[in-house]
Structure 1
Amino acid sequence: MSNASKTALVTGATRGIGFETVRQLAQTGVHTLLAGRDRTKAVEAALKLQAEGLPVEAIVLDVTDTASIAAAADEVAKKYGHLDILVNNAGILRDEQGKKISEQTLQAWRETFDTNLFGLIAVTQSFLPLLHKSPAGRIVNVSSLLGSMTLHSDPTSPIYDFKIPAYNVSKSAVNAWTVQLAYELRDSKIKVNTIHPGYVKTDMNAGEGEIDVPDGAKTSVALALIDDAGPNGSYRYLDNVLPW
């Protein structure tokens, strides 16, 4: 299946890693739907990439709004009849700096999980029927190394002191969801994987990352374009398999 015949959708794509993921997928020839909850921002972002000659289209999708998700899925079904690639990129960080782990508000936990986990699951559930209509559906869940419980439990690991509880636990849950869904899809043509983009310089961390945004999109794009021999139910950063 050529990339030019594929259709992809990337959530949370009006800026940062999501925007760059759209760009890199489109650069391979994939018709890519740039999803954002704000129509104006989504259209503006899509126009920037269209100006580069890329096959990009804006679509409105708020991962915390059931009606918005349903409308987006209906739009894709009517226009394309299927979906080949879903990149669940949308994510937020609501933990308050300076507060202890036990002091983070329940509201912060709920808002974080509504977007990072429940929104991701809701989007996947709505688009899964369209992915089943693809000859080779691919789902990429954008997690983080901070979701690794193995590394958080190891005092010698590089993330041992990076305790951002609501965010970290939401990403651990994304990893767990990926394993469960991969089991369901094990005998299908769909593959689902979860990725760490790297410690990327984004607005979420006030630009304090170690790598630039284009590098941060590479793992999502690579897993979105795997062939039939590619992994299912894995947790990766570039070519490295990460510990759960």
Structure 2
Amino acid sequence: MGKKIVLITGANTGLGYQMVRALCDSAQAYEILVGGRSIQKAEQAVKDALAEFPSTKSTPVAIQVDVESDDSIQAAFETVQSKYGRLDALVNNAGAVFDQKYAEGALSLRQAWAKSWDVNTAGTHIMTLTFVPLLLESSDPRLLFMASGTSSLELTENKVLPINQNPPKGWPKDGFAHSNMAAYRSSKAGMNMMMRDWARVLHNDGVKVWALSPGYLASGLGKGSEHNKRMGAQDPVVAGPFVREVLEGKRDGDVGKVILRDGKIQPW
């Protein structure tokens, strides 16, 4: 079948770009579809990856796709269908935090919650639904969702983490509406349930499905990478090899789960 065809959404920056880098650095050969809302930024990401890995066996290719736009998703599908006729792996990486936008006054509370679910859950679901026919043309189809440690219901009991601590008694609660990223966390928890349903629906088709929880990384989400670094976040580069390992079969025994980089399973 030649190179495996992998489509990564939100791949021109942050965690997505680290995935592109990791695949370019692999001993295996991939056709890496570098998805971005801006085709110009996706094209620049391709140039940057090729400049860093001039001897790569893989071929990064820019593709425009915005998970908030059904028309964009459909256009991307038609492009991949006409050019390749199949898709070996879909990595649903595109995601966003809007709680801070509410705190800054840029969005209303309803807008922040609606956009969180639209991007992280509904958009990801529509992206997946659209591309399933191409995944089913693969001999080894893989479907990945990028989860979050903050989405675990069980781990909300861990009061060591500031995000889980109880605020002082009384009302109003200072920063209550955004301090624990409730909109983001709930949308990612919803995505975990969506992943489970896709694992159920595609089980008899042989599609391997996971959600990957890469840990607290210094991405641009929330208050930005510098803030996340100060709070102890790790370098986003660690996300790339994690995704590559899943694509190359090292976590095949953990399908249908939210998996962690250390080989463990994230509790629900």
> 5+ residue gaps in structure 1?
none
Identity of aligned residues (%): 31
Residue aligning to 1:95: 99
Q: Are residue 206 (structure 1) and residue 224 (structure 2) matched? A: yes
Q: Which residue of 1 aligns with 2:8?
A: 10
Amino acid at match of 1:177: M
Q: Partners of 1:40 and 1:74 in 2: how far apart?
A: 20
Match of 1:23 in 2: 21
Query: How far does residue 198 in structure 1 lie from its aligned partner after superposition?
Result: 1.3
Q: Does the 8 Å CA contact 1:191/1:231 hold for their aligned counterparts?
A: no
How far is the alpha carbon of 1:217 from its aligned partner?
Answer: 2.6
Contact kept in structure 1, 2:98 and 2:116, CA below 8 Å: yes
Rounded to whole Å, the distance in 2 between the matches of 1:215 and 1:128 is 28
Q: Secondary structure of the residue that 1:194 maps to in structure 2?
A: strand
Q: 1:97 to 1:49 in 2, by over 3 A?
A: closer
Equivalent-residue separation in structure 2 for 1:203 and 1:60 (angstroms): 20
For these two proteins, the number of residue pairs brought into alignment is: 239
Residue 27 (structure 1) shift:
2.3
In structure 2, C-alpha distance between the alignment counterparts of 1:175 and 1:163, rounded to whole Å: 19
Cα 1:229–1:92, aligned 2, differ >3 Å: closer, same or farther? Answer: closer
Determine the structure 2 residue equivalent to 1:83. 87
If the length of structure 2 is used for normalisation, what is the TM-score? 0.83
Given candidates 100, 109, 112, the residue that maps to 1:108 is 112
Q: Secondary structure at the match of 1:192?
A: strand
Question: Which of structures 1 and 2 has the bigger CA Rg?
Answer: 2
Return the offset for 1:195: 1.1
Pair 1:216-2:233 in alignment: no
Structure 1 CA distance for aligned equivalents of residues 86 and 234 of structure 2:
34
Distance 1:94 1:27, change over 3 A: same
Per the alignment, do residues 229 and 21 of structure 1 end up closer, same or farther by CA in structure 2, a change over 3 Å counting?
closer
For 1:14 and 1:85, how far apart are their aligned partners in 2?
A: 17
Q: Residue in 2 aligned with 1:120?
A: 124
Structure 1 residues 104-156: Cα deviation after superposition (integer angstroms, max 9, x where no partner):
70110011111111110011011111001100111110010001011114445
Aligned residue for 1:32? Answer: 32
Deviations 1:199-236 (A, max 9, x none): 11122242224211111333322222226943321101
Q: Hey, what's the Cα distance between the residues in 2 that align with 1:45 and 1:65? A: 21
State the SS of the aligned residue for 1:230: helix
- Equivalent position amino acid for 1:41 in 2: K
Q: Distance in 1 between matches of 2:117 and 2:242?
A: 23
Distance in 2 between residues matched to 1:128 and 1:211, nearest whole Å:
33
Given the superposition, is the C-alpha separation of residues 190 and 156 from structure 1 closer, same or farther in structure 2, using an over 3 Å criterion?
same
- One-letter code of the match for 2:191? V
Please say if residues 197 and 218 of structure 1, whose CA atoms lie closer than 8 Å, have aligned partners that are also in contact. no
Which ranges of structure 2 fall in alignment gaps of 5 or more residues?
166-178
Give the TM-score, by structure 1 length.
0.90
Q: CA RMSD in A?
A: 2.2
Shift of 1:159: 5.2
Paired residue for 1:135, among 136, 139, 142? 139
In the alignment, does 2:65 pair up with 1:67?
no
CA contact (8 A) 1:151 1:157 kept: no
Q: In 1, are the aligned partners of 2:102 and 2:109 still within 8 Å (CA)?
A: no
